[in-house]
């Protein structure tokens, strides 16, 4: 069964668009004029002068020129007396000379810093993306960096959805960037050459261990043994699963229990062999179907060497219908912050504690905003609660917004430099946390 997996693991939280290369005034003069206009209210950072290269995550020199239609600004707002909050904002207009995509490291099972992820794809800017399995989490599966919730690149689902949870969806249509926030689900199916069919339970995760739970079948909350139909911050188990691994996993499949079976697949889906128990290297460019319990029994009966196995995992709306519009990149979050310009009631689910946050938002004109809110720095930037975060991005013109991973993960990178102040705990030094994936802005359209 396809899982509803909530924000867990790394979930220790976790205005006006400025553009470089604007039309009319020369780029430097336009940026400087806009910055002077905003300085008194926002503490805007000028775009006129390129920064000097530095390896320090704590330095934040002025941002250099970005592709036309891509803007950068940093500003300070107040949440009340003694409660300043610092925002780093990237804006990407629908007609920007840029592309927006997800980026992950060499494999889904490993974490990398946002800066490393941006460098790996040649991005001019990036922020962190999904929640993920983290080694310090109480339910760690053994693979730090494995995304929790929906994650897709180039239209291919690499991590199944937290069914019904909101996500940032990005595609292109008519040469323009189409960005939106929508509730999403995933539906997985297997079909063997003999016509046998089965549900696909998940992709690129450990079979039988479901961080966040909330599936549509046999998920049981480990702490109580009860069936779990809704997302939860706990860990669920399911003894009867088939999980797929693909070339994006980037590691051996886990060592399986006695009775487990794994069908090894070539890049075109042909079964090139089986092994039991499951676990080991994956075929070059290919993947596997990894079964436990009844899932293993099904594979032994129907995954015949030399035959093809049809594997599908598609994104849908919560009712199972295809998502409208183009979807090339999908990055799942925890809760919706804004819906139609109004604070969503789910924003309160983030609790009353102010934390660093990363938010994906969309303005009425389709401009995508990637916003990082710093926190854990008393007197400098205190972070935000869910409702406060909703108000902050609404003040930037957003009408829809979703909360992504935050806390020590909240990171914004522009031209190879970390522009905000990510911290693991209150008052600690600025550090870059390795994360599962990033939302990357690349030059070109």
What pLDDT, on the 0 to 100 scale, is given for residue 231?
A: 65
* Bigger pLDDT: 143 vs 375: 375
Tokens of 9: 């693991």
Contacts 24+ apart (CB under 8 A), 41-50: 41/75, 42/15, 42/73, 42/75, 42/76, 42/77, 43/74, 43/75, 43/76, 44/18, 44/73, 44/74, 44/75, 45/72, 45/73, 45/74, 47/18, 47/20, 47/72, 50/415
* Bigger pLDDT: 181 vs 136: 181
Calculate what percentage of the chain has a pLDDT beyond 70: 83
Domain-located, residue 8: no
Backbone angles phi, psi at 118, to 5 degrees: -60, -45
Q: What are the residues whose beta carbons fall under 8 Å from the beta carbon of 390, sequence distance 6 or more?
A: 337, 338, 343, 344, 347, 401
Give the residue-averaged pLDDT of 271-292.
97
CA–CA separation, 430 vs 241, rounded Å?
Answer: 41
Give the residue-averaged pLDDT of 159-177.
93
Q: C-alpha angle with apex 193: 188 to 198, nearest 5 degrees?
A: 30
- 168 and 217 housed in the same domain: no
Calculate what percentage of the chain has a pLDDT beyond 90: 71
pLDDT digits (tens, 9 = 90+) for 24-75: 334 333 333 333 333 333 333 333 322 332 333 434 455 568 999 999 999 9
Of the pLDDT bands very low, low, confident and very high (cuts 50, 70, 90), residue 300 is: very high
Tokens of 230: 């809704």
CA–CA separation, 76 vs 43, rounded Å?
Answer: 6
Domain end position, chosen among 274, 297, 316 = 316
Tell me: pLDDT of 302 over 80.
yes
- 50 and 153 housed in the same domain: yes
Domain-located, residue 71: yes
Of the pLDDT bands very low, low, confident and very high (cuts 50, 70, 90), residue 227 is: confident
- 159 and 31 housed in the same domain: yes
- 193 and 172 housed in the same domain: no
pLDDT digits (tens, 9 = 90+) for 123-151: 999 999 999 988 777 777 788 889 988 99
- 178 and 228 housed in the same domain: no
| Averaged confidence pLDDT in the chain | 85
- 156 and 276 housed in the same domain: no
Domain containing 206 equals: 188-316
- 245 and 376 housed in the same domain: no
Domain end position, chosen among 268, 286, 316 = 316
| pTM (predicted TM-score) | 0.85
- 254 and 374 housed in the same domain: no
- If one counts the domains in the chain, the total is 2
- 395 and 432 housed in the same domain: yes
Of the pLDDT bands very low, low, confident and very high (cuts 50, 70, 90), residue 234 is: confident
* Bigger pLDDT: 279 vs 1: 279
- 299 and 368 housed in the same domain: no
Domain-located, residue 16: no
- 374 and 392 housed in the same domain: yes
Among 132, 71, 79, which Cα is nearest to 389's? 79
- 304 and 370 housed in the same domain: no
Of the pLDDT bands very low, low, confident and very high (cuts 50, 70, 90), residue 402 is: very high
Among 216-230, 342-356, 422-436, the least confident range: 216-230
């Amino acid at each position: 069964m396809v899982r509803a997996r909530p924000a867990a693991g790394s979930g220790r939280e976790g205005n006006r668009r400025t553009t470089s290369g604007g039309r009319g005034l020369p780029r430097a003069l336009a940026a400087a004029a806009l910055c002077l206009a905003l300085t008194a209210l926002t503490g805007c950072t000028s775009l006129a002068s390129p920064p000097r290269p530095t390896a320090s995550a704590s330095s934040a020199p002025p941002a250099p020129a970005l592709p036309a239609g891509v803007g950068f600004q940093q500003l300070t707002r107040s949440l009340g007396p003694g409660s300043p909050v610092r925002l780093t904002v990237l804006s990407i207009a629908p007609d920007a000379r840029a592309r927006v995509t997800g980026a992950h490291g060499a494999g889904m099972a490993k974490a990398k810093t946002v800066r490393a992820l941006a460098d790996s794809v040649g991005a001019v800017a990036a922020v962190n993306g999904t929640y993920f399995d983290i080694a310090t989490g109480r339910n760690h599966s053994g693979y730090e960096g494995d995304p929790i919730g929906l994650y897709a690149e180039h239209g291919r689902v690499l991590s199944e959805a937290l069914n019904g949870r909101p996500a940032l969806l990005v595609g292109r249509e008519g040469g323009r960037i189409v960005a939106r926030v929508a509730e999403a689900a995933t539906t997985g199916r297997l079909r063997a050459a003999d016509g046998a069919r089965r549900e696909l339970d998940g992709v690129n995760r450990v079979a039988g261990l479901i961080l966040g739970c909330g599936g549509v079948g046999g998920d049981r909350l480990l702490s109580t043994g009860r069936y779990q139909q809704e997302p939860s911050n706990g860990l669920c188990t399911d003894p009867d699963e088939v999980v797929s691994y693909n070339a994006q996993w980037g590691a051996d499949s886990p060592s399986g229990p006695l009775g487990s079976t794994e069908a090894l697949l070539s890049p075109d889906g042909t079964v090139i062999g089986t092994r039991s128990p499951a676990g080991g290297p994956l075929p070059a460019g290919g993947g596997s179907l990894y079964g436990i319990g009844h899932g293993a029994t099904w594979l032994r009966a129907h995954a015949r060497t030399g035959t093809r196995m049809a594997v599908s995992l598609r994104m849908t709306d919560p009712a199972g219908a295809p998502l409208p519009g183009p979807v090339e990149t999908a990055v799942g979050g925890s809760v919706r912050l804004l819906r139609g310009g109004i604070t969503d009631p789910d924003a309160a689910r983030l609790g009353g504690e102010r934390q660093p946050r990363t938010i994906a938002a969309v303005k009425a004109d389709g401009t995508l905003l990637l916003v990082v809110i710093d926190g854990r720095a008393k007197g400098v930037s205190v972070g935000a609660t869910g409702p406060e975060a909703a108000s902050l991005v609404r003040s930037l013109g957003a009408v829809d917004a979703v909360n992504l991973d935050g806390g020590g993960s909240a990171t914004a990178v522009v031209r190879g430099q970390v522009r905000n102040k990510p911290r693991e705990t209150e008052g600690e030094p600025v550090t870059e946390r390795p994360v599962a994936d990033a939302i990357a802005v690349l030059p070109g359209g």
